[in-house]
Amino acid sequence: MSHTATCHLDPDHRDHPEPRHRHTHGVPDSIRRSREGLRAVALSLLILGATAAVQAAIYVATGSVALLADLIHNLGDALTAVPLGVAFILRSERGERAAGVAVVLAILVSALVAGALAIDRLITRRPPDHLGALALAGAIGVAGNALAARVRTRAGRRLGSPALVADGAHARSDALVSAGVILSAVVVAAGFPIADPLIGLVITAMILHITWESWRTVRSGRPHSHH
């Protein structure tokens, strides 16, 4: 009986401690996993890169610090695909763990930058304009992050990758953060321009919470199936 056949008959096959990772059409598990991981990482990078590009164009027109905070975070989120992609290319579990730590650090840095920008805007008191475009940018952020989260989380669960699942949870939470940009546009339009930097600070707090949750996922070494 062929090696492939025995893999399917024996779920406890010692060369494959994860029963769902099996040979497919003669392709070894590690190579198939690498390809699937890279595909998910590349697709999420494309989605978030496009989202950040559109938001950047709208930021130039609006000058909203809430949007800038979300834009910086989305761009940083997109760039976390790089260490994850390298880990999948090398087919290294240690590399994936290191990439997971890089994801957490990227989230933390984006929180600190967003907070600094919000504080600066509180001091200078420059309200955003073009509020319709600002709300549109928030909606684009919600859609882009939700789609990227779906791609990352599904692949992370299927491949048993805590780093990819953490990145998926991160993007899903970012969709809620982007909703804060829409809220900023609505509240400023209602006559409360101070709300823009305040919402930027709330976004900063949310990103810090996401940092902690992502760190817990990466540190545990197991994807959380309830996400």
Chain segment 106-135, per-residue pLDDT in tens: 778 878 887 888 888 888 877 777 788 888
Task: Pull the structure tokens for residue 225.
Answer: 């199936």
Q: For residue 111, tell me if it sits in a domain.
A: yes
Task: Pull the structure tokens for residue 167.
Answer: 């990145």
pTM of the full predicted structure? 0.70
Q: For residue 20, tell me if it sits in a domain.
A: no
For residue 14, what pLDDT is reported?
A: 43
Task: Pull the structure tokens for residue 91.
Answer: 């087919």
Q: For residue 11, tell me if it sits in a domain.
A: no
Given a contact cutoff of 8 angstroms between Cβ atoms, the answer to whether 84 and 93 are in contact is no
Range(s) of the domain holding residue 173: 30-220
Q: How far from the centroid of its chain's Cα atoms is residue 161's Cα?
A: 14
The 10s digit of each residue's pLDDT in 52-76 is: 888 898 888 878 777 787 788 778 7
The DSSP result for the chain, as a single string, is: --HHHHHHH-TT-TT-SSTT---BTTB-HHHHHHHHHHHHHHHHHHHHHHHHHHHHHHHHHH--HHHHHHHHHHHHHHHTHHHHHHHHHHT-HHHHHHHHHHHHHHHHHHHHHHHHHHHHHHHH------HHHHHHHHHHHHHHHHHHHHHHHHHHHHHT-HHHHHHHHHHHHHHHHHHHHHHHHHHHHTT-TTHHHHHHHHHHHHHHHHHHHHHHHHHHTS--TT-
For residue 69, what pLDDT is reported?
A: 77
Question: Can you tell me the distance from the alpha carbon of 186 to that of 3, in angstroms, rounded to the nearest whole number?
Answer: 61
- Residues 6+ away with beta carbon under 8 Å from 63: 126, 128, 129
Q: For residue 93, tell me if it sits in a domain.
A: yes
Question: Can you tell me the distance from the alpha carbon of 194 to that of 49, in angstroms, rounded to the nearest whole number?
Answer: 30
Q: For residue 37, tell me if it sits in a domain.
A: yes
> Which residue has 């690498």 as its token pair?
34
Q: For residue 74, tell me if it sits in a domain.
A: yes
Q: For residue 18, tell me if it sits in a domain.
A: no
Kindly give the parts of the chain with pLDDT less than 70.
1-28, 221-227
Question: Can you tell me the distance from the alpha carbon of 168 to that of 198, in angstroms, rounded to the nearest whole number?
Answer: 27
Q: For residue 116, tell me if it sits in a domain.
A: yes
Number of domains present in the structure of the chain: 1
